[in-house]
Amino acid sequence: MANASVISPQTIKISLYVGIDRSRFCSSNLVSERICCSGTSTESRPPRFISKGCKLVGCGSALPKLQYSNHDLAKVMDTTDEWISSRTGIRNRRLLSGNESLNGLGVEAAQKALQMAEVEPDDVDLIFFCSSTPDDLFGGGPTVQNALGCKGNPLAYDIRAACTGFLLGLVSASFHIRSGGFKNVLVIGADCVSRHVDWTERKICVLFGDAAGAVLLQACDCEDDGLFGFDLHTNGDGKKHLNAGIKQSEANIVNGLVSGLMLPSVSASISNIQMNGQEIFRFVVNAVPETMEASLSKADLRVSDIDWLLIHQANQRIIDSVAKKLEFPRERVISNLENYGNTSAASIPLALDEAVRSGKVKKGETIMLGGFGAGLTWGSAIVRWA
């Protein structure tokens, strides 16, 4: 790829019209389901219509205990606080250490979201664990579900979409509520990217921190619907600019034969993150404003109708550039990047939780969310805090 313009926001588009006019989505004319039961009866059964909205009713977050500042990094590598902060806006980050686990952070964030929403774990009927750095190869969703004490065995599984993961989980949760009959869906964004960076490479390792954030999405009447519009995209060609591939090293030959074949013993691990920061920056500052404009159009809203702008916390220069292109007031832009760095899928719910609990975001206010990450994936959604 010669330049960032090759990564076109129009390459692959996954989007659905969701507007303020609830008749477009929450309507018995749009979503219907005929229930068919096995047996010998041929009696005609009337269709069952599902007509529901969804709303954000709780949020929570969790952080590791270990704080690592730019000054701490300067003691172990060739860098300074000024070099890092002037290029990224980051001054501190939290890192998993000791007996802490990513699943543990996810459980803590989920518990806080449930407590805010006054919903018991047994009333949760679906959990999305959005993470690209789980504690286990097979994901963290089931482990988190078990630790929460959800006795009804609700479905729980992982969504792996890097920094865009939480946004995809949020939209997926809305689908399950609106057309699948689910009532309470937990969406957890959690990542421990510090496991997958080279701590001698200052251009990458200084960017990331570890955290978890969660929201509870709940079924509601259509007139109370809190997801107004969204727009999601993927372009796999952009993988060359941001990836962490599998690396294999062949060890000794296993003793003996299996079906007459000698089997090599292969050790596999995930390589450290490789990133072309300049190409990602050039792409994001164009693609994110475009997807946000698309969400506004689908929701029949204008920028002036949005109370808060919350973009994936990757780099302050990106956040400022997107806000400037949208002509969005700087004082209405949510950012906690300085304190935590890029926490990947946790960054949006972590920043949202802090803004809600501090009283910055108030009931009934509208928030424009924007995410982007490896894949490349990117998108936006407009939500109302209930």
Is 71 catalytic? The answer is no
Q: Tell me the DSSP string of 296-338.
A: HHHHT--GGG-SEEEE-SS-HHHHHHHHHHTT--GGGEE--HH
Tokens of 56: 């954000």
Is 233 catalytic? The answer is no
Q: Is the dihedral of CA 112, 117, 122, 125 positive or negative?
A: negative
Q: How far is CA 327 from CA 61, 202, 316, 324, in A?
A: 30, 33, 16, 5
Tokens of 381: 């959604």
Q: Tell me the DSSP string of 222-258.
A: GGG--EEEEEEEE-GGGGGGEE--EEEEEEEEPSS-B
Residue located via tokens 């459980």: 107
* Helix axes 102-117 and 347-357, enclosed angle (nearest 10): 40
Using left for φ > 0, alpha for ψ between -120 and 50, and beta otherwise, residue 187 falls in beta
Give SS3 for 350: helix
Could you give the CA distance from residue 9 to residue 20 in angstroms, rounded to a whole number? 25
Burial code of 272-311, b = ≥16 C-beta within 10 A, e = fewer?
bbebbbebbbbbbbbbbbebbebbbebbebeeeebebbbb
User: Which candidate in 205, 235, 312, 315 is catalytic?
Assistant: 312
Q: State the DSSP H helix or E strand holding residue 106, giving kind and residue range, or none if neither.
A: helix 102-117
Is 312 catalytic? The answer is yes
Could you give the CA distance from residue 358 to residue 351 in angstroms, rounded to a whole number? 11
Q: What is the DSSP secondary structure assignment for residue 120, as one 8-state letter?
A: -
User: Which candidate in 59, 130, 150, 163 is catalytic?
Assistant: 163
What lies within 8 Å, CB to CB, of 332 at 6+ separation is 306, 307, 308, 309
CA 99 to chain centre: 25
User: Which candidate in 70, 184, 336, 342 is catalytic?
Assistant: 342
Dmax (CA) for the chain in angstroms is 77
The residues annotated as belonging to the active site are 163, 312, 342
